[in-house]
Chains A and B, each alone.
Chain A
Amino acid sequence: MKSPVGWLLLSAVPLVIGTVAAIVLRLAYPDVLVRFITTPAGLALGVGAAITGIAVIWVVAARRSAQRRYALLVSGAEQARIEHQEFLARLDHELKNPLTAIRAALAAHGTEGSPHLEIADSQAQRLGSLVGDLRKLSGLQSQELECEPVDLGEVVGEATEAVNTSLRQRGSSREFTVDFPTVPWRVPPIEGDSDLLYLAVFNLLANAAKFTGEGDCVEVRAGEVHGRVWLEVADTGIGIPAEDLPHVWSELARGSNARGISGSGLGLPLVKVVIERHGGRVSVRSREGEGTAVRIELPVKHPTLELHGAGVPR
C-alpha cells in the first residue's frame, strides 16, 4: 500500500509547485495579471489532475482489498473455531448415551467381587469425566462472562493459598513465592469474570505444582506494561520437550515426558479459553529438564497512572 500513497504524493508535486509559483508571481508583480490559462499550464494541470485521480482510486482499491483479505482470514479462523466447537458437541452427544448405559448396566449387575467388571466400571467413569471435561471446556467458549473489576493480586493470593494447602495435605514442604508489585502502586484491576479468572490462575499454579519436585521452586510474578497486566508462573520443573511446545494449548495434548503424572491435558486449554475470552493472550517458554514459564496478559481498563493513590476499588 506504500507505493500508491507515494504516487499520490508525487502527483501532488506539480500542483504544489504551480500554486507556489502563482503566489510568488502575484506578490512580485502585483499589477501583472497572472494567467493560468496558457496551453502548457493547462496541459500540466490536466496531467497532474489525472495522475492524482488515478492514485486516489488506486489507494482506495488497495485498502478495500486488504480489508476483504483480512475479513476472509478472520472469518476463516472463526469458521474453524465454530467447526471445532461443533465437533466437540457431537462427540459429547454421541458418547454420553452409551456411557450412561454402560454405567447403569454395570450398576444393575453389580461389580463387587469381579475385578474385570470393576475395571470396566472405573474406566467408564474415567471416560465419563473426560467427556464431561471436554464439554465444560466447550461450554466456557460460550459461557456468559459476569464482569466486574477484579484485583488480580487478590485472585493470585487465594489461588496460591489453595495450592499451598493441597501441597501441605500431600505432605510436601514446598511453598509458592509470589512477587506481586504493590509498590509504588498496585497492579490495576482488570475488568473480568473473577470466578473464571480464578479458575485460570488456579490451573496455572496447580500445573506448576504438578510438574515440579521437592527441590524445585515456583515463582509467581506480575506487572503492568502498555495498558496490559501480565502474570507469569515460572518453575524449575521437568519442562516441556521442544516438539511438544506448539501443542500445549490444544485439548488432550500432554507432554511426552508427562506420562506417569496424572492429568487430563485440559488445564492449559482452559487457561487459554478463559484468557482469550477476556481479550488477553497466553504464551509459554520452556526447556525440557530446566523449567517452564507460562505467561498471561490481560487488558486493563484503567491504567495505573489514572488510579494511583486511590488503591484498588472493588
Chain B
Amino acid sequence: MAEPIRVLLVDDESAITDSLGAFLTDAGFDVRVADDGIAALAATASWRPSIIVCDVIMPRLDGRGVVRELRQQGDWTPLILLTKVDATPERSAALDEGADDYLSKPFDPDELVSRIRAVLRRATAGAPPLSAADRLVAGELVYDRRARRIWLAGKELALTPRALLLLEYLMGRPGEVHSRDRLLSTLWGFDFPASTRAVDHRIAELRRVLNDDAGRPRFIETVQSLGYRFVARVERA
C-alpha cells in the first residue's frame, strides 16, 4: 500500500480516542481525532480522511448530524457510526441517513478494523454508495427505496417488512458475503445466539416471492457456512 488509510476518529471521551487511536495506529492506519461533530466536519474538510469513525452522542453536533451534514454537502466520505442506541428504528435511521455501517459499543477493536476495511472495499471514491440510492435495479428486479416497494418484471410484489429490509440491505451491498449474525444484529435488533433461524426464514420468503432457485440463484446465494450474498449485478436507476 502506497499511502496509509486515513481514519478520522470522532468521540468526546478522550479515554476512547486515546486508546482506540493508539490501537488503530498500531493496525497501520493514519489516525486523527476530533472531539465533537463540528470539529469532525472541519477535519473532514481540511484533512480529507479515507473514512470517519464517529460516535453518536456528542456535544455541539452529534453523530447523526455529522452524517446528515456531510451527505447534504454531497460529501460521501465513508462513515461508520458507533451507535449508542440499539433499537431497530434507530438502526435503520442510521442506515437511511447515509452511514455506511454501524457498530455498537462496547465492541471488539479487531472488529472495527475489519469493518473499516470492508466499508472501504465497498466504497467508490466520492460517489454515494448503492445503499444510499433511491432506486436500485438488478435485472428484472426493481427496488424503490423511498417508497419501499419492489417490482419483478413489472409486477409489484408484497413482502413482510423484515424481508423488505433484508432485501434492501443485500441489494445495497451486492457481491459481499453477509453472515447470519451480522444480518440479524443489523436488521432485526436482537442478535441473540440461536435466533439466526429468523434470517433463514426471511431468505426463504425472499426466494419464494422472487421466484429464486437456491440451487441456481439469480439473486440470493447461500454461501456455505458463511452466510448470504446478493449475486446479481445492481445498478442505480
B-contacting residues of A (Cβ < 8 Å)? 93, 96-105, 107-108, 124-125, 128, 131-132, 135-136, 139-140, 142-144, 146, 148, 158, 162, 194-196, 198-199, 202, 206, 270
Contact = CB atoms under 8 A, between A and B. Distances in A.
A143 B189 contact: yes
A229 to B, nearest CB: 20
B19 interface: yes
B106 A100 contact: yes
Contacts of B22: 104-105, 108
Interface in B1-30: 13, 15-16, 18-20, 22-23, 26
A108 B107 contact: no
B161 interface: yes
Contact of B23 (A97, A104, A144, A148): A104
B194 A199 contact: yes
B88 A136 contact: no
B197 A101 contact: no
A162 B16 contact: no
A49 to B, nearest CB: 60
B109 interface: yes
B26 A198 contact: no
A101 B190 contact: no
Nearest to A198: B197
A143 B160 CA distance: 16
A101 B201 contact: no
B15 A103 contact: no
B87 A101 contact: no
Interface residues of B, number: 35
B197 A143 contact: no
A140 B106 contact: no
- Main SS of the interface on chain A? helix
B11 to A, nearest CB: 8
Given A143-B87, A158-B197, A100 B191 contact: no
B110 interface: yes
Given A143-B88, A195-B198, A104 B190 contact: no
B188 A128 contact: no
B201 A103 contact: no
Nearest to A135: B86
11 contacts: A93-B84, A100-B106, A101-B15, A101-B18, A104-B16, A104-B22, A136-B86, A136-B191, A143-B190, A146-B162, A199-B195
B106 A131 contact: yes
Interface in B101-118: 104-110
A107 B23 contact: yes
B192 interface: yes
The 9 closest A-B pairs by CB, nearest first: A99-B106, A104-B19, A105-B19, A195-B198, A108-B23, A101-B15, A107-B109, A108-B22, A104-B20
A162 B195 CA distance: 10
Contact of B105 (A97, A136, A270): A97
A195 B200 CA distance: 11
B197 A103 contact: no
Contacts of B162: 146, 195
Contacts of B192: 136, 199, 270
A102 B16 CA distance: 8
Given A139-B87, A146-B162, A96 B194 contact: no
Given A139-B86, A139-B87, A206-B194, 8 more contacts: A97-B15, A99-B105, A99-B106, A107-B19, A107-B109, A143-B88, A158-B197, A199-B194
